[in-house]
Amino acid sequence: MITKKSREEIKLMKIAGDIVAQVHRAMKDAVKPGVSTKELDEIAYEIIKSNKAVPTFLGYRGFPASICASINDEVVHGIPSDKRILKEGDIIAVDVGATFHGLVGDSAWTYAVGEISEDNKRLMEGTEKALMAAIEKMVAGNTLNDVGGAVEDVAKEYRLGIVRQYGGHGVGRNMHEEPFVFNYRAGDTTILKPGMTIAIEPMLNLGCDDVYEHADGWTVSTLDKCASAHFEHTILVTEAEPVILTKLAQK
Ligand code: MG
Ligand code: MG
């Protein structure tokens, strides 16, 4: 069942989303050559805690950290480590969730480490554009097929592979709620309605669509070792324009 959120729940999700956005603002400054993904995780943990929220990922099905940090060919769910040091030319996807008074904000962003290749620039630009095109379709009356189709069209324009085993999801009292959101035209006729809150998260690849899970039970990488990017926002469907809940609040 897809739940519609109350005004009070949406208020709390906006606060959770603002905390997540604060983490991303800090990541933008912190990501540079020589920094470990463990250090990034510690920064995220401190920001979430100092805002009196709970790191949603920490302990989720046993996940050991507050962020997922996925470098280059890693797609999602990379585990932060003091042994994973960022180097010039890498790209890193940071995914983070914060729970505030029981409500979740979920957002991912991919960052360039120093100067990156033209291909990686195309990958990042295309994936961010795919997210924004999908968000534009998050209008009451549209279907999830319209949303996935928007991602598919931008992926094609940028000549990028689409990760198909993972996708967006309802979010609110739980990090993962119904519906699942495909990042391509999967024929899903679910109609968007005001009050639905859904995380949209295209994962696009420089190479083929296929991915595999590492022996650690978490990290997902591309099968062909090509780089992958991930961008995500939590969105509220309204009677009018879609609202991005994981943006910095206007104070
Ligand atoms: Mg996420
Ligand atoms: Mg998500």
What is the 111 CA–ligand 2 centroid distance (Å)?
Answer: 17
Cα 148 from Cα 96, distance rounded (Å): 22
What is the 129 CA–ligand 1 centroid distance (Å)?
Answer: 17
Residue at 147 is within a domain: yes
At 223-250, the pLDDT tens digits run 999 999 999 999 999 999 999 999 998 7
What is the 232 CA–ligand 1 centroid distance (Å)?
Answer: 6
- Report whether pLDDT(251) > 70: no
Residue at 249 is within a domain: no
Element (H, E) at 100: strand 91-100
- Report whether pLDDT(130) > 90: yes
What is the 68 CA–ligand 2 centroid distance (Å)?
Answer: 11
What is the 106 CA–ligand 1 centroid distance (Å)?
Answer: 5
What is the 168 CA–ligand 2 centroid distance (Å)?
Answer: 6
Mean pLDDT, rounded, for 159-178: 98
What is the 189 CA–ligand 1 centroid distance (Å)?
Answer: 24
How many separate domains does the chain show?
1
* Residue 181 banded pLDDT, cuts 50, 70, 90: very high
- Which domain CATH number covers 13? 3.90.230.10
Find all residues with CB under 8 Å of 35, minimum gap 6, and list them. Answer: 85, 86
Residue at 144 is within a domain: yes
Residue at 1 is within a domain: no
Residue at 2 is within a domain: no
Residue at 248 is within a domain: no
State the residue range of the domain holding 237. 7-243
**pLDDT for the residue numbered 249:** 84
What is the 95 CA–ligand 2 centroid distance (Å)?
Answer: 8
